[in-house]
Amino acid sequence: MKKPRLGIFKLTSCDGCQLSILNLEEELLRVVELFSLSFFPVASDKELSGYFDLALIEGSISEPRQREEVISVRERSRYLITIGACATSGGLQALKNWAVLESFKKSVYPDPALIESLSTSTPVSDHVYVDFEIWGCPVTGDALSETLACFLLDKRPTIPQYSLCMECKRKAIPCILVSEGEPCLGPITRAGCGALCPSFSRACYGCFGPRDDANIDSLMRWFEKSGYSGTERQRLLDTMNTYAYRRVQIEKKD
């Protein structure tokens, strides 16, 4: 059987999700055997050409050239899957969506005119059809290998859509929201990391983005009662998945 052609693309991002692919270690060497790794510039000189059976995209769209790039990747690919918070929800850099771009540019570059940047950072799904999304900042190795294995078996990956609280309960971690009054985003956040922060006695800060049907307002009312100001509450949501959390808030209001 011909090996499926796999392409791994990068837009605006930190390379951490691509590194999570390289961190698969032993499994990576299996991936290299089972797929024809046809485009992966961070690890190989092979140039972009032809079509892909599966494209993985890391990074958000924050520059004009990337809009064309992502359309070209879509046209070349049978399946397109986004990996990580940037590609799936715009990333931390989407905080510029709620600011004035010119002032951002001026605060960073002595000559802002040389910098070509869109006023927004948006997920890939705002631009082209996406077949499947893997959330997380960064994505986990388990989610990546599950997705790649499912692709080979022609089956939809089973990646949890429920809240992080389920993982805490399963691991018998005492609820730090209830017992410590910590502003934990667990109830509105997608499971998948293995409840890492709560297991470090730390409140979840939302690396995996909003779970399906997240009731953000209810959690925010809880935080309000615990004494968190409006600015503080908004800051909790405005991190790597700011665009996704804010979107859920707006959609609920409609």
Q: Footprint of other proteins on this chain (CB under 8 A)?
A: 10-20, 22-23, 25-26, 28-29, 32, 37, 40-47, 62-63, 66, 91-93, 95-96, 99, 103-111, 114-115, 117, 121, 137-138, 140, 193, 196-197, 199-202, 205, 207, 235, 239-240
- Give the nearer residue to other proteins in terms of CB position, either 29 or 250: 29
Of 135, 244, 142, 132, the residue nearest 191 (C-alpha): 135
Lateral strand order in the sheet of 77-83 = 36-39, 5-10, 52-58, 77-83, 132-134
* Residue 233, phi-psi category: left (phi > 0), alpha (psi -120 to 50), beta (remainder): alpha
**Separation between Cα atoms, residue 196 and residue 4, nearest integer Å:** 34
The least distance separating other proteins from the CB of residue 62, rounded to whole angstroms, comes to: 5
Q: Which is nearer to other proteins, 74 or 105 (CB)?
A: 105
Q: Reduce the DSSP state of residue 249 to 3 states and report it.
A: helix
Q: How far is the CB of 213 from other proteins (least distance, A)?
A: 26
What distance in Å separates the CA atoms of residue 247 and residue 63, rounded to the nearest whole number? Answer: 21
Q: Please state the closest distance from residue 156 (CB atom) to other proteins, in A.
A: 26
DSSP H or E segment with residue 146:
helix 141-153
Q: Least distance to other proteins from the beta carbon of 128, Å?
A: 18
Residues whose CB is less than 8 angstroms from the CB of residue 184 and which lie 6 or more positions away in sequence, other chains included: 175, 176, 177, 197, 198, 203, 204
- Which is closer to other proteins, CB of 14 or CB of 216? 14
Q: Residue 136 or 210: which CB sits closer to other proteins?
A: 136
**For residues 124 and 240, which CB has a smaller minimum distance to other proteins in the complex?**
240
The rounded distance, in Å, linking the Cα atoms of 79 and 81 is 7
In angstroms, what is the minimal distance from the CB of 98 to other proteins?
A: 10
Q: Which two tokens stand for residue 128?
A: 């082209």
Least CB distance from residue 195 to other proteins, whole Å? 10
Pick between residue 218 and residue 226 the one whose CB is nearest to other proteins. Answer: 226
